[in-house]
Amino acid sequence: MAAGSVQRHGVLYLIVCGAPPAGDAGRLVELAQAEGWEVCLIATPSGRSFIDQAALEAATGHPVRSEYKQPEEPDVLPPPDAIVVAPATFNTINKWAAGISDTLVLGLLTEAIGKRLPVVALPFINAAQAQHPAFQASIDRLRAAGVQLLYGPDVLELHEPGTGSQRVGLFPWRLTLEALRGHSGTSGEAMGRAG
């Protein structure tokens, strides 16, 4: 590889949910592009209110999607080679683990497990939500299915309810790409399709 060139990795879907760090999703877009990923952004319906859609479309060169397309319409996004879900919310984690597919985001995530795509999720939840018995069960179920869930006190300290917007600057976007680098599924086949 020539000096200064960027190794191509393929297509990365960045899925953002309705939480304050979603407003900084452009940071992960830039980091991923610098590593050679072609990034497409998909937002949950509530996630759309946190993002600057026009800026993200300009940065990625792709439309931001949040709704299913009509069956006869062509897909406007290339298929993913890997998926990052960040910030992942309490609602999305629990519905995903339960196999609920009532939005485009959940449809993509439930299928990704069966397709054996590399998926990294970085939750942003508060300390009260973390105590709900369904949440840890969902984390365990998704990890058992092969999802790399970046969750625990060594990743991001839980915040008190109502203080999430004060913690946005601490959200460790870079950890998602580091986790993908360690995933064997993103090396051979995905890069072969990209380049």
Mean pLDDT, consecutive 10-residue stretches, the chain (195 aa), reads 58 97 97 97 96 98 94 91 98 98 96 97 96 96 97 92 92 96 52 31
Q: Which domains, ranges and CATH numbers included, belong to the chain?
A: 10-194 (3.40.50.1950)
The pLDDT value recorded for residue 110 is 97
Residue 182: helix, strand or coil by DSSP? coil
Q: What is the pLDDT of residue 27?
A: 97
The residue assigned the tokens 């709900």 is 132
3 state DSSP class of 139: helix
Decide if 32 contacts 176 (C-beta within 8 A): no
> In Å, what is the CA distance from 63 to each residue of 18, 37, 123?
18, 16, 24
- Long-range residue pairs from 172-176, CB within 8 A, at least 24 positions apart, any chain: 172/122, 173/21, 173/24, 173/27, 173/28, 173/31, 173/86, 173/122, 174/31, 175/122, 175/150, 176/28, 176/84, 176/86, 176/120, 176/122, 176/150
* CA separation for the pair 56, 39 (Å, rounded): 10
Q: What is the pLDDT of residue 1?
A: 41
Joined together, the tokens standing for residue 46 give 């509530």
Asked if 36 and 186 touch (Cβ cutoff 8 Å), the reply is no
pLDDT, position 185:
46
Residue 4 pLDDT? 47
What is residue 70's predicted lDDT score, i.e. its pLDDT? 86
- As separate numbers, helices (DSSP H) first and strands (DSSP E) second, the chain gives 8, 5
pTM, whole model, 2 decimals?
0.89
Question: How many whole angstroms separate alpha carbon 160 and alpha carbon 127?
Answer: 6
CA dist 99 and 114 (Å) reads 11
Determine contact, residues 121/148, Cβ cutoff 8 Å.
yes
Query: Residue 186's pLDDT is what?
Result: 43
